Amino acid sequence: MVRYPLMNTKTFSQEADFIKESAKIILEACKLPNAKIALSGGQTPEPILKELSHHVEKDNATFYQVDERYTEKTSPDSNQKMIRDSLNPKNFITFDTSLPIEEALSNYQNQLPNQFDLIVLGIGTDGHTASLFPNSPATEEESSPVAHTQTSEFTIPDRLTLTFPPILHSKKILVLLKGQNKIDAIEKFPASKLLKHQNLQVHFLV
Ligand code: 6PG
């Protein structure tokens, strides 16, 4: 993986170490006063959140969603279902997908903090992160902290997502990448926008 000056990358060959070290970073953030942490969905975070669920300090934090598929919160495709089932968060602020899209976005926006302590992101092989897809106009959004995006490439076409302003304003970003097919994912737009963040930690499981 190409190294960038601001990016702190750790490469793991053992999944157990990847899980342990990634959970440790999130746990450290949980110990901050009034910790505010935003979590992505997808597959990579699940075992890390399960590991984190064993640590009582997680209950000090308020968790938020980076993005959500516009589906029932009980759907197997729901990010909040994955997070609830794996982390069992005590304090969890979610997109309310039972509302119409615009109402769900404004309802969530009204609950956002001024700044996250940590945002945990994955990246797709196409370079999408959160639900900010390469062809999404929302990748260039400069004012609204949330957006509705759409995809025909991935499950559930309608998505609710944070935009880059709150992501890049976070005190710290942890990117979780699993598999050789992700080796250059962070160099692809729009994930490459993360490379200008001053406190970017990448964990890469080869
Ligand atoms: C989602 C995620 C998405 C994810 C990437 C990587 O809603 O699916 O928020 O942005 O982080 O697609 O997913 P994996 O971790 O499953 O590779």
Helix (H, G, I), strand (E, B) or coil at 98: coil
More confident position, 3 or 131:
131
- What is the CA(79)–ligand 1 centre distance, in A? 9
Percent of residues, the chain, with pLDDT higher than 90: 96
- CA pseudo-torsion sign 64, 69, 73, 76: negative
Q: How much distance in Å is there from the Cα of 41 to the middle of ligand 1?
A: 5
Reply yes or no on whether the pLDDT at 3 is more than 70.
no
For the stretch 63-98, pLDDT in tens is 999 999 999 999 999 999 999 999 999 999 999 999
Ligand 1 pocket by Cβ (under 6 Å): 40-44, 66-67, 79, 122-124, 128-131
Question: Rounded CA gap, 9 and 204, in Å?
Answer: 7
pLDDT tens across 140-192, in order? 999 999 999 999 999 899 999 999 999 999 999 999 999 999 999 999 999 99
Q: What pTM was estimated for this model as a whole?
A: 0.97
The amino acid at residue 27 is L
Task: Please tell me whether residue 81 adopts helix, strand or coil conformation.
Answer: helix
- What is the C-alpha separation between 186 and 170, in angstroms, rounded? 18
184, 175 Cβ separation under 8 angstroms: no
Contact (Cβ atoms closer than 8 angstroms) between residue 97 and residue 33:
no
Mutation test residue for ligand 1: of 18, 22, 44, 148, the one with most atoms within 8 Å of CB: 44
Bridge partner list, 137: none
The tokens describing 64, both together, are 């938020």
Which pLDDT score, from 0 to 100, does residue 7 have?
Answer: 82
Q: Burial letters for 24-43: b for 16+ Cβ neighbours within 10 Å, e otherwise?
A: ebbbebbeeeebbbbbbbbe
What is the band of 5 on the pLDDT scale with cuts at 50, 70, 90? Answer: low
DSSP 10-64: EEES-HHHHHHHHHHHHHHHHTSTT-EEEE--SSTHHHHHHHHTT-GGGGGSEEE
Q: Is 103 exposed, middle or buried (0-12, 13-18, 19+ CB in 10 A)?
A: exposed
